[in-house]
Structure 1
Amino acid sequence: MRIVILGAGQVGTSVAQSLVSESNDITVVDNNRERLENLQVRLDLRTIVGNAILPSTLRDAGLADADMLIAVTQSDQTNLVACKLAHTLFNVPTRIARLRSPEYLDNPELLGEANFAVNYALCPEQVITDYIVKLVEFPEALQVLSFANGRVALVGVKAYAGGLMVGKPIREMREHLGDNVDARISAIFRQDHPVTPTGDTIIEDGDEVFVLAADEHIRRVMVEMRRMTAPVKRVIIAGGGNVGLRVARMLEGKCAVKIIECNPERTQIIANLIGEGLVLLGDATDEDLLEQESIEETDLFLALTNDDEDNIMSASLAKNMGCKRVLALINRRVYADLVQGGPIDIAISPALVSIGDLLTHVRRGFVAKVHSLRRGAAEAIEIVVHGDQKSSRVVGRRVGELPVIPGATLVAIVRDLDKLEDIAYAGMIMIKKKGHVVIAHKQEVIRSADHVIVFCLNKKVVKKVEQLFQVSVGFL
């Protein structure tokens, strides 16, 4: 696929890195020559220095022959105009724009072909906000990811002594859970090295375990790996920028929130936009301020400024002063790898969190969801099964009969997503949810229209997985 990417910042670079590894023909456009030269040294792609909204620049980038435009510059206006030009002058089939302002997203008619001609609008700040809020809901987790319209959850947790399954083989988990709860351990990372889980694999203290189950069962399953902590009631947010403010507003009414912001003008703006939260003018790396705000009694500290070093310093200080759990946004992936699991409980790379939504629209049409895992090292994908037994290599076959792809595991199936099913939540409350969740045991037969979730230990196997689920030529 021929893809033109506008913007070589954090998001653009992450997108380029992911797509180059999948054998796409990539051209990146930016007005910063040094940034492009650094990118070209590391990746096999083409670069163009220039203004992304000039037709001549887009023509030089090969937009006339492109299958897709991904406009992810820092400017909403640039991204919108580029999509319009791509549609009007170059007839590019797929046009994706990064939009930071919620006003464009709140008025979707502006994105139609008669206006800015955006096929898909990506708002990384909102994606990151939703991701963080989910971690507040599951404070024990390293990652919480949803598939099949929220019907299935994949959670990454660090196993600790005291968890029911720690020190025991995986095959015993079903006995612990009982007949009414089924789950699948998708992957284990032990000291950063992947361990392929089998029934005989023993879960060890310190393992990073990815476990998948129906949404209503996920808390029960997490108990198997570690002792559950009390719900988050007190949160301090360092940084009142776009992400910090969005998180604070989404947490209102759920827990007590304080925001520390160093810019006086921004502090006033935040105070006018939030209701119950407390806004503090100050520096989140100020030990006296953190002590004054009772950091030792705080359940969760979120370092969400735009500065990696400030986030690392403030989160490390908060942890050292007694905060129960700390999370930091860190743009540079090498920094995130260094600090997570040490002074910082969770290090989030904004670009890698948001890239999953974008990849969902870049991949082939039968890919319904993509999630980046372990800061880009692995991937989980949701694929919609098409075809019949004549046109598909998977329809009508048992999971255990499928070709083996080393590094890829089919972990769950969700079927009948258009039908409501009665669900026993927490063992007593009956609710209705769409779809039926089936853990992918070897005897389970795959049907057309199933949504299958596949865990890929490394991104190199993703293409092989997609090829397995393709239908033969001529299928409509």
Structure 2
Amino acid sequence: MRVVIMGGGKVGSFLTEILEANGHRVTVIERDRALCESIASRTSATVIEGDGCDMRFQEEADVGSADVFAAVTGDDDDNLVACQLARTHFQVPRAVARVNNPKNEKIFNRLGIDAISSTTVIAELIEERTTVGDIITLHTLKKGRLAVVELDLPEDRCRSCNVPLRDLGLPQGCVLVSIIRGDEVIIPQGESVLQPGDTVIAVTEPEREAELKRILAG
């Protein structure tokens, strides 16, 4: 499968690595030259320096021949514009977007764009398969029985940092899926230790979400 990703930050970089590891061909469109160089040095993805909201760069990325277009920047407006361009002008079969403000999710969905706020689930939507064993599936997520939480740990006074995960007393029904540390993606184990500035992606029962956030981020 061929996937074009707009956005080469933490989410786009992580997503590129996941999809490449599963044998997909990936093209990344990113404005920042340093991020472009970082992705190009660590992956075999085709990297285009430019604005994914601009038709010229989507054309250069050959969005028209892609199976999926995924917009995963930190700006919901940009993600919406880029997905709409990919759908209406290049007729991409599927558009997936990262939504940073949950209030925007219904707008994206009404326009035929798969909208979600977790990197892991974006990969899930693209591949249509489960990546965390039997713990989560799209069905349970869509039914609201589980919540996907993405947390940035504070740089200072991080109470959960430098403590083995097994000793944090995480609530029952919560599973840490991944730790993103700079350019590194870590699959957490009981002995894993969080560090200030880490991004943590977790799956939890909705009623445990506040407790999980309190333990991890204070």
Same fold (TM over 0.5): yes
Aligned to 1:100: 100
Match of 2:115 among 121, 128, 153: 121
Which letter maps to 2:5? Answer: I
- Structure 2 counterparts to residues 459-474 of structure 1, below 5 A: none
Judge conservation of contact 1:4–1:70 (CA < 8 Å) in 2.
yes
Helix, strand or coil for the counterpart of 1:44?
coil
Percentage of pairs with the same residue: 26
Q: Structure 1 pair 52/315, CA: closer, same or farther in 2 (3 Å)?
A: same
CA–CA distance in structure 2, aligned partners of residues 335 and 26 of structure 1: 18
Q: Structure 1 pair 41/79, CA: closer, same or farther in 2 (3 Å)?
A: same
Q: Structure 1 pair 339/62, CA: closer, same or farther in 2 (3 Å)?
A: same
Judge conservation of contact 1:4–1:61 (CA < 8 Å) in 2.
yes
Q: Which has the higher strand share?
A: 1
2:27 maps to 1:27? yes
CA–CA distance in structure 1, aligned partners of residues 192 and 2 of structure 2: 41
Which letter maps to 1:341? Answer: E
Aligned to 1:341: 191
2:139 maps to 1:145? no
Structure having greater relative contact order (Cα 8 Å, sep ≥ 6): 2
Helix, strand or coil for the counterpart of 2:180?
coil
Judge conservation of contact 1:336–1:349 (CA < 8 Å) in 2.
no
Q: Structure 1 pair 52/21, CA: closer, same or farther in 2 (3 Å)?
A: same
Q: Structure 1 pair 324/144, CA: closer, same or farther in 2 (3 Å)?
A: farther
- Structure 2 counterparts to residues 27-426 of structure 1, below 5 A: 27-105=27-105, 107-108=106-107, 111-112=109-110, 116-118=111-113, 120-124=114-118, 145-147=135-137, 149=139, 304-307=151-154, 309-310=155-156, 313-316=158-161, 325=169, 330-332=179-181, 334=184, 336=186, 341=191, 350=200
Cα-Cα RMSD: 3.6
CA–CA distance in structure 2, aligned partners of residues 71 and 61 of structure 1: 13
Aligned to 2:6: 6
CA–CA distance in structure 1, aligned partners of residues 3 and 168 of structure 2: 44
Which letter maps to 2:160? Answer: A
- Structure 2 counterparts to residues 414-453 of structure 1, below 5 A: none
Q: Deviations over 1:46-86 (max 9, x none)?
A: 00011111111111111122121011111111111111101
Q: Structure 1 pair 59/306, CA: closer, same or farther in 2 (3 Å)?
A: farther
Helix, strand or coil for the counterpart of 1:5?
strand
Aligned length: 172
Q: Deviations over 1:82-119 (max 9, x none)?
A: 111011111111110111112222x35x533xxx441x
CA–CA distance in structure 2, aligned partners of residues 335 and 93 of structure 1: 29
Q: Structure 1 pair 305/147, CA: closer, same or farther in 2 (3 Å)?
A: closer
Q: Which runs of 5+ in 1 are unaligned?
A: 128-142, 151-242, 245-303, 355-476
Q: Which runs of 5+ in 2 are unaligned?
A: 122-132, 141-148, 204-218
Helix, strand or coil for the counterpart of 1:51?
coil
CA–CA distance in structure 1, aligned partners of residues 188 and 137 of structure 2: 29
Q: TM-score with structure 1 length normalisation?
A: 0.31
